[in-house]
Structure 1
């Protein structure tokens, strides 16, 4: 599986998200400033609510812009067994029921699921609890963590 292809997919998805967020900002701004939405009394809050929505959407758009910039600068490195799993690793885990799970550890802002051929790849930030548990691990290592009410066990099967 090609890490640069996965990175490109993340960039494309973030670009789509940014476009949607910018459209939402514009729509909320237009609603907030439209002359029909000028408050006529203290109970008429549509314009005020739209202004709050526009502010929130603008913050969301800025967060996506920052994630895009980070992902554009990101250069996944090949796996180094001496360092173990690090940022940029493509990891295959199996759980206690031998169900495989593929993870791509990337910078923040790109958490999403991608389809690579017939394989589902979960993109997670190194800030995610599972990613933090994986940092420094190598092929064959086991990882235990509390997910919900019960502990989960994973084995690192493959790292790229």
Structure 2
């Protein structure tokens, strides 16, 4: 799942920026990273929608806390891990829209720029015990994250 203010409507209302979910294996187990509230949305965007459930760890933002099950959790502001080169993005988008082949004629990989360099996201990182033993014979692990639009809040654009 990924979204970085990539439509005209989303650029008009940064509450529509729902960012990313990443899942990968690590030395100690499996890691889930949920990014939300991209800095491109501005400081005026809502950052907390409230949550229900049972807390598994407690600490200060930016600090790593251990969980009772041996995992770790971290939450805070981090560099955006997403990397996108605008010229390639436009070439791919145009090809998909027009049903044509991607044309990168004249594009120089040495001159590539990261459109998200210098941006941050508010992240929650969970490092869990290895999930594969619980996955069964097919070794599949299902991961989901809710993505909601914070449009129930009255939006006030940040002042320049």
Is the radius of gyration larger for structure 1 or structure 2?
Answer: 1
TM-score by length of 1: 0.20
Give the number of the structure whose residues are more often strand, by fraction: 1
Give the number of the structure whose residues are more often helix, by fraction: 1
Larger RCO: Structure 1 or Structure 2 (Cα < 8 Å, ≥ 6 residues apart)?
2
TM-score by length of 2: 0.20
